[in-house]
Amino acid sequence: MDIVQKKKIGLIVIILAIALSIPLFVTKPYYIHVITMCLLWAYLASSWNLFCGFAGQLSLGHGIFTAVGAYVTIMLFNDFNISPWIGMFAGGAAAVLLSTLIGYPTFKLRGAYYALATVAIGSGVMVLIENTMTLGPFHVGGAEGLIVRLMGNAPAYLQFMSKVPYYYLALAMLVIVVVFSYWLKNSRLGFYLSALKEDEDAAAALGINVRNAKLVAAAYSAFFTAIGGVFYAMLIRYLEPMAIAGPMMSNEMVFLAVVGGSGTVFGPVVGGITLHAISEVIQFYFSDMAQGLHLFIYGLIVVFVIMFKPQGIIDILQKYYNRFLGISDRGEDESSVS
């Protein structure tokens, strides 16, 4: 094992050790909750990135996947007592189905059609949920939202009294999506996505079935996003159509991934954690001064990053990372981070 490899493993061990020990010295439930939300947003941005970042497709409606995942899981739990641990896979499957239904007609078209379709379907799904009180044997709750049936401390039903298990769960999910992103980026499909992101004609001429590659990647993305929706539902214990399916949810994933560095493995993670942390801090300090001031400041930060670092925050970190490993900026190991 060479020195670069050792340094990499060392860095991973240190980051994981810090992440694992955070609940030991952060004891206030509110802070744990805020940190958990940072990890969840990093997870959701990474899930969005699996397809939209890697393949350069703009989905502005990923909120439908968090919504479908969460609603299917919670309805199965509330009305049929199926544990969310199992129900989440049904939710994920429903999201995959929905993603394929949207993708099949739109991926054949070029340009903004996919983005437009996601916006339209995103709003449509939200309105649909808001106006549906019951669906067959299921209680949906309409605009009032859906309350998760409380079980007390029931790990078998993904409910905990303490915030700490949620933190570890979010951390585990984030690690899984990062490992999956890394694998995908370096797989055949990852190469295909990078290629079609740049030029679909050139990709097809090399034997790539562009539509199938997009459908598969979009399905992965939808599945991971849906599981994020389930986690959100179990953490908040209340589903509000506007919050889980609305444009805020959809746009936030895009913001975080783009500001962090879309199309890279770690960009959305960095974007999700730092940007959400910043947003929490400015909300804490500025929200009393004037209505919406914290959102304005948050927006300014997003604009500045996009103006001065269009490749995302990860581009800055990459330089320090390469220096730490002792390799040149265009070194042989560069693909390992970006």
Partner 1 sequence: MSASILEVKQLTINFGGLIAVNNLDMQVGYGEAVGLIGPNGAGKTSAFNLISGVYKPTHGQVIFNGEDITGLPPHVINRKGIGRTFQIVKPFGSMTVLENVMVGGFAHTSNRNKSKAIAMEVIERVGLQRKVNALAKSLTLADRKRLEVAKALATDPKLLLLDEVLAGLNPTEVEEAVDMIKDINKSGISILMIEHVLQATMAICNHIVVLDYGKKIAEGTPQEVTNNPEVIKAYLGDEYEAVIN
329 binds partner 1, rule: CB under 8 A: no
Residue 285 has which token pair?
């300090």
CB of 56 to partner 1, least distance (A): 10
Amino acid at 279: S
CA nearest to 99, candidates 56, 124, 65, 71: 65
Compute how many residues bind partner 1; rule: CB under 8 A.
22
Quick one: which of 85, 191, 238, 286 contacts partner 1 (CB under 8 A)? Answer: 191
Query: CA-CA distance, 70 to 44, in Å (whole number)?
Result: 13
Residue placing its CB nearer to partner 1 in the complex, 134 or 186: 186
187 binds partner 1, rule: CB under 8 A: yes
Query: CA-CA distance, 73 to 77, in Å (whole number)?
Result: 6
CB of 186 to partner 1, least distance (A): 6
Query: CA-CA distance, 325 to 2, in Å (whole number)?
Result: 11
254, 306 contact by CB (below 8 A) = no
Name residue, tokens 């916006």: 119
Residue placing its CB nearer to partner 1 in the complex, 274 or 318: 318
Query: CA-CA distance, 265 to 314, in Å (whole number)?
Result: 10
Residue placing its CB nearer to partner 1 in the complex, 111 or 137: 111
Residue placing its CB nearer to partner 1 in the complex, 2 or 201: 201
59, 106 contact by CB (below 8 A) = no
319 binds partner 1, rule: CB under 8 A: no
Residue 300 has which token pair?
């300014």
CB of 134 to partner 1, least distance (A): 45
205 binds partner 1, rule: CB under 8 A: yes
216 binds partner 1, rule: CB under 8 A: no
Quick one: which of 83, 194, 283, 336 contacts partner 1 (CB under 8 A)? Answer: 194
Quick one: which of 22, 116, 178, 204 contacts partner 1 (CB under 8 A)? Answer: 204
108 binds partner 1, rule: CB under 8 A: no
110 binds partner 1, rule: CB under 8 A: no
Question: Of 9-17, 24-32, 42-50, 196-204, which segment contacts partner 1 by CB under 8 A?
Answer: 196-204
DSSP secondary structure string for all residues of 59-76: -S-THHHHHHHHHHHHHH
CA nearest to 211, candidates 220, 224, 200, 226: 200
179 binds partner 1, rule: CB under 8 A: no
SS3 content of the chain, % helix, strand, coil (to 5): 75, 5, 25
Interface with partner 1 (CB under 8 A): 186-188, 191-192, 194-195, 198-199, 201-210, 330, 332, 335
